[in-house]
Structure 1
Amino acid sequence: MSADDRLLRLIGGDRLAQRPKGNYKNITRWGDLVFVSGKSAGRSVDGKMPKGRLGQTLSLDDGIAFAREAALELLLTLCKELGSLERVQQVLDIQGFVNADASFEEHAKILDGASDVLVDVLRDAGLHARSVFGCVSLRGGQPVILRAVVGLKTSPREKPFQFSTDFR
């Protein structure tokens, strides 16, 4: 089963990636690297709209569910922009932003929900480095926002990006 098929199985039907709501792109590409703009849950989870603060109006389980949805939105965006998730060589880095009360300390558990989805869909290519940040607010009151850096498979006609350390 392909990564695209695994994604379709998880989303359970027709669902499109959200379009940017401002003057920016969903992804930008630099050589064989793709930078994915911040993604959040694109729909309600268990009847709850994606809005609120962890540790105040939302529970740990709510946060994990919203992080899973944000990861699905991230994957949908990659699939739409790249044509297929089969072009993904490796998810290199994930940054998670959690709208949390000052007393909330389970940020990493929230992001585990997103990490699990990436590995479920992309297998080893979904394993990544990550950082998570607690925030006092996020756009639109979103509980979780993810951004990513992804390495692409290059075709034989494309040269992979090479970073030079020769500064002479």
Structure 2
Amino acid sequence: MSVKSIDKRLSEMGITLPEPAAPVASYVAAVEHGGLLHISGQLPFIDGQLVKGRLGESVTLDDGMAAARACGIMILAQARAALGTLERVEQVVKLGGFVNSTGDFIDQPKVVNGASDLMMAVFGDAGRHARSAVGVPVLPLGAAVEVDAILAVRPA
């Protein structure tokens, strides 16, 4: 898939990639090694505001899905910053989704679909990936969702 078609898809979806978020601790946002780009966990920012709270408590399922989608948008921004272009993305290999949720909340997979559906919409078949969706009692900065990624990339 060409940069033009990826950029066109993003534009058609009304998505403008933000500036990549800076790491909040002692790590880097992305590491490219052995044909893979590992992207650290990304938090959900919508209109510049961090989406905070717990699913099953103060955050609805729809808001959780939107938060996961926002994490996916930040993954794309980090990938473009690390690679110079999204054209180098050959395959979304895996997403890891972490959902700040109550002990009785069981829809973590539905929440993380927000990021998964975005990857498939942007990359087509190359956006199909393996995934985990895990409920956790707390996330950094009180975020509702965090998503990390492993992408197969073409050589520069």
TM-score by length of 2: 0.90
Question: What residue identity is the alignment partner of 1:124?
Answer: D
Aligned to 1:33: 36
Cα drift, residue 140 of structure 1:
0.7
**Inter-partner Cα distance in structure 2 for 1:89 and 1:37:** 19
Identify the structure with the greater strand proportion. Answer: 2
Between the aligned partners of 1:114 and 1:12, the Cα distance in structure 2 is 13
CA distance in 1, matches of 2:22, 2:53: 22
The total of aligned residue pairs comes to: 153
| CA distance, structure 1, for counterparts of residue 53 and residue 87 of structure 2 | 34
Residue segments in structure 2 that go unaligned for 5+ positions in a row: none
Moved over 2 A (4+): 4-15, 42-45
**Is 60-69 or 14-23 further displaced after alignment?**
14-23
Secondary structure at the aligned position of 1:2 is classed as helix
CA displacement, residues 103-155 of structure 1 (integer Å, 9 cap, x when unaligned)? 10111100111111001111111110001110000001101100111111135
- Code of the residue aligned with 1:78 in structure 2: it is A
CA distance in 2, matches of 1:142, 1:86: 30
**C-alpha RMSD of matched pairs (Å):** 1.8
Identity %, equivalent residues: 35
Q: Computing the radius of gyration over CA atoms, which structure comes out larger, 1 or 2?
A: 1
Describe how 1:45-124 pairs up with structure 2 within 5 A: 49-124=50-125
Q: Check conservation: 1:93, 1:148, Cα contact below 8 A.
A: yes
Q: Deviations over 1:21-42 (max 9, x none)?
A: 2221111111201111000112
